[in-house]
Amino acid sequence: MASSTLVAVGGKGSNPKTTLYVGGLEESVTEATLHAAFIPFGDLKDVNLPMDHATSKHRGFGFVEFEDKEDAAAAVDNMHNSELFGRVLRVNYAQPVKIKGGDKGWSHQPVWADADKYIDELAAEQELEAADREQRKRTAAAAVEAAQGGGGGGGDDPMAALEAAAAAGGGS
């Protein structure tokens, strides 16, 4: 079981994986209750229960941050699918903040937040395509010129130049 946890600790990016998502919490669970449930696995940095502002109750999940990633791994191994106040807990590594859309989340970013990056990438792509087309034209023209100038007489095959141009420009 510890080997599967080591794979998860390696996880995505450079996040040290010390913050856990704890889902499936019963309404009466408090930060103190969550702290008491996870303290046996190691020193805790922070316990957070996001609140629903409309009901002034927590939203049924929380975050527990450990000092060491090994303690967090032990907590995931032991607390995932365990019961707290009659509810089965889901305990996983929390997503890094940048994946969820920054400090405030995606809902606080305008739709056009990444427009400049998109426009720059689109312009670079169009520039590369134009350069590629120009290179194909030059190659075809050079092939036609080579086919016309190479024979040196009126007995040349009239289709040779067209075949050379087609071979040079049709290879992509």
Q: What is the pLDDT of residues 116-128, one digit of tens each?
A: 888 888 999 999 9
Per CATH, the architecture of 2-109 is what? 2-Layer Sandwich (3.30)
Sequence-distant (≥ 6) Cβ neighbours of residue 24 within 8 angstroms:
60, 61, 87, 88, 89, 90
CB 5 within 8 A of CB 73: yes
Q: DSSP letter at 107? A: G
Q: Which residue has the higher pLDDT, 15 or 19?
A: 19
% pLDDT > 90, the chain: 40
What pLDDT is attached to residue 169? 67
Sequence-distant (≥ 6) Cβ neighbours of residue 53 within 8 angstroms:
none
What pLDDT is attached to residue 123? 92
Q: DSSP letter at 41? A: G
Q: Give the C-alpha separation, 28 to 85, whole Å.
A: 8
What pLDDT band is residue 32 in, cutting at 50, 70 and 90?
A: very high
Of 7-11, 47-51, 91-95, which range is least confident? 7-11
Helix, strand, coil % (nearest 5) of the chain?
50, 15, 35
CB 66 within 8 A of CB 75: yes
Mean pLDDT, rounded, for 155-168: 72
CB 165 within 8 A of CB 143: yes
What pLDDT band is residue 80 in, cutting at 50, 70 and 90?
A: very high
What does each C-alpha distance from 5 to 21, 71, 73, 85 come to in angstroms?
Answer: 15, 11, 6, 26
Residue 50 main-chain phi, psi, to 5 deg: -60, 135
Domain boundaries, the chain: 2-109, 115-169
